[in-house]
Amino acid sequence: MRSTVDRLVSRYARRAQLPWTGVVSADERVWILIYPPKEERRIRARLEAFELATTEASHKWLEIDVTDAYARWLGDHEFAEQYFQKPSLLPSTQQEFAEHLRDEVAEQLGAATEDTVVALVGVGSLFGVGSASQLIRSVQGQVTGRLLVFFPGHREGNNYRLLDARDGWNYLALPIEAGEDEE
């Protein structure tokens, strides 16, 4: 029996091989690769397999990792010392961080073309400090190829729950899940 990660790589490879039509909405250009949060390290260790599946499908790969975005932003913030001394002030910075993250990701999207899979990695790190759904919605219109979101959580219908803990959000993206072993 193949591992969850192997099944995800296989399912993603099949999706990447399908012809892309240019006449799809921004929502439809988003692919959400859903996996149990406990698989995060295994997924990270196998990112090259997803990249290889992308290039074998004759597409380009652009990886954007937001794992340490909050730490970098907060560390560089002019009021960082005050926030460290009084963490109760941090919730008031969420919108400011969201705008910074959107701009940071948008800047990196400049390297993408209509034939690029933009792999958004590390969205689990936004739990408690940001919003994966807000980030996806704020940048999806700039992705002319496909936006592949590595999503540690689960899905019930069109409702996605990050890290299986937070109330989900309803989203119309194309889900990619491990499912049962095909062999």
Confidence band of 95 (pLDDT split at 50, 70, 90): confident
Domains contained in the chain, number: 1
Residue 121 lies in a domain: yes
Q: What is the pLDDT of residue 183?
A: 46
For residues 144-163, average pLDDT: 87
- Number of Cβ within 10 Å of residue 183's Cβ equals 7
Confidence band of 77 (pLDDT split at 50, 70, 90): confident
For residues 75-90, average pLDDT: 70
Residue 182 lies in a domain: no
For residues 135-158, average pLDDT: 91
Which CATH number is 158's domain given? 3.40.50
What tens digit of pLDDT does each residue of 96-107 get? 889 999 999 999
- Residue 182: is its pLDDT beyond 70? no
Residue 183 lies in a domain: no
Residue 156 lies in a domain: yes
Q: Which residue has the higher pLDDT, 91 or 62?
A: 62
Q: What is the pLDDT of residue 53?
A: 98
Q: What are the Cα distances from residue 1, in Å, to 8, 78, 126, 176?
A: 13, 52, 33, 19
Beta strands in the chain (DSSP E): 30-35, 60-65, 116-121, 146-156, 159-162, 169-170, 174-177
pTM: 0.89
Q: Tell me which residue range forms the domain holding 122.
A: 4-18+26-177
Q: What is the pLDDT of residue 115?
A: 95
